[in-house]
Structure formats: structure tokens, C-alpha cells
Amino acid sequence: MTPLLAISNRRAVLLGGSAFVLAACGDLIGPASTPQQLYSLKPQGAAPMPGPKADFSLAVQASTASQHLDSLRIALAQSDGRVDYYADAAWTDRLHVLVQSALVEAFESSGRIAAVAAEGEGFQADYILDADIRDFEARYALPDGIPAVRVRIVAKLAPIRGRAIVAELNSVHDVPASENSVAAVVRAFDAALGQALSDIVPWALSAAHGKGGG
């Protein structure tokens, strides 16, 4: 069975007898309690990149239109399409803030940009990168199986003046967890996000350079 799921009372009512069976199996379903185990994102792949250093500056923002992702909770998707959360586990900050920080660090680590900062820090940038988080959940094919995480980020690059989008990238990565546990799922998120960063950073540097930046 899927471990440590937090399902609302409304969902539990809808599940009916199935909810009773799952609840009887170790009492793993229920609302999150406090204190929760906190997890941060530590993506791999943020490393120096070969190539000339760009002389433009970049502001980075991350957002999501998905209500279930705009949260401190760690999301999962059941095989029947229901979206739930891991109980007693949470991110150290809202997901879009963690992704934004990871992007800024990845650009800094590349060593190929004059200046980069999070949007809203009073930073005078030449370009803005908007990272729209479309998917960031653990996906279960079977209720008692080992999940795979999906990270999908649609990145859009635009000059600060005018904000007309000059380039767009859809980065999608699926990484299986090593086991059915929250810690293993978070490690898979780190790997998938690291792969997305490895897509986005060189793409943005190249796209801005092609439009006159750098």
C-alpha cells in the first residue's frame, strides 16, 4: 500500500469500504500531524559549464498554477488519478520557493552568467526566466508499488523590457524511487530536478545569447 498518505475526510468518505481496508492496514492514512519530518531539495548537476561567460543579468521566478503543488506538502498521484500527500512529511518551504532557489544556485554554479538573483529582490536584470512547475509529484502505478517521480517545468525567457517571450523550453524527467518511502522519493526528486536544471541553464544562456544577450 502507498505509505503515509494523507487523504481528506471528503476523500475518505468517497473511498468507502476501500478506505476502511487501508486504514486497518497499519493506520497509515490520516491528516498530517506536527511536528512533521521536513525535507529540502538538494538537486545534483549544478556544476561549472564550459563556454564563454554571458554579460547579461538574469532574474529567476518560479510559480505553479496547480493548487495541489502550491504547498508545503509533498504531493503524490494515485493510479486512479487522485492526488494526495505524504502524511507527516513536508518541504522546508513552499515548492516554488525551493525550485526558484535551486535555479538561482544552478546558474551561479555554471560560472557563465554575470549576475543572477531571485525575482523580487530589487535586482536590475536584463532578462527574466519564469519556471512554471507543471508536475512535481510521486506517481504510483500500483497502490503498494514503488513510485516514480515526475518533474515537469516549462521555462520561458523574456527581456525585462517588454516581457515578450523569446524562448520556451518544456523539461520533463521521470525518475523511479529506490523504495516506497518518503526519503527515497525525495532523493528521486533531487535527481529529476537536477536533470531539469541541466536542461534549463544551458538552454537559457544560449537563448539569451542568441537574442543579443552576452
Domain ranges of the chain: 34-210
* String of DSSP letters for 94-145: -HHHHHHHHHHHHHHHHT-EEEEEETTSS---SEEEEEEEEEEEEE-SSTTS
- Whether 27 has a pLDDT exceeding 80, the answer reads no
Residue 33: which pLDDT band, with cuts at 50, 70 and 90?
low
Higher pLDDT among residues 204 and 48, named by residue: 204
Q: What is the mean pLDDT of residues 77-85?
A: 92
Which residues on adjacent β-strands are paired with residue 131? 62, 155
Model-level pTM? 0.83
pLDDT digits (tens, 9 = 90+) for 117-164: 999 887 889 999 999 999 999 999 998 899 999 999 999 999 999 889
CATH number for the domain running over 34-210:
3.40.50.10610
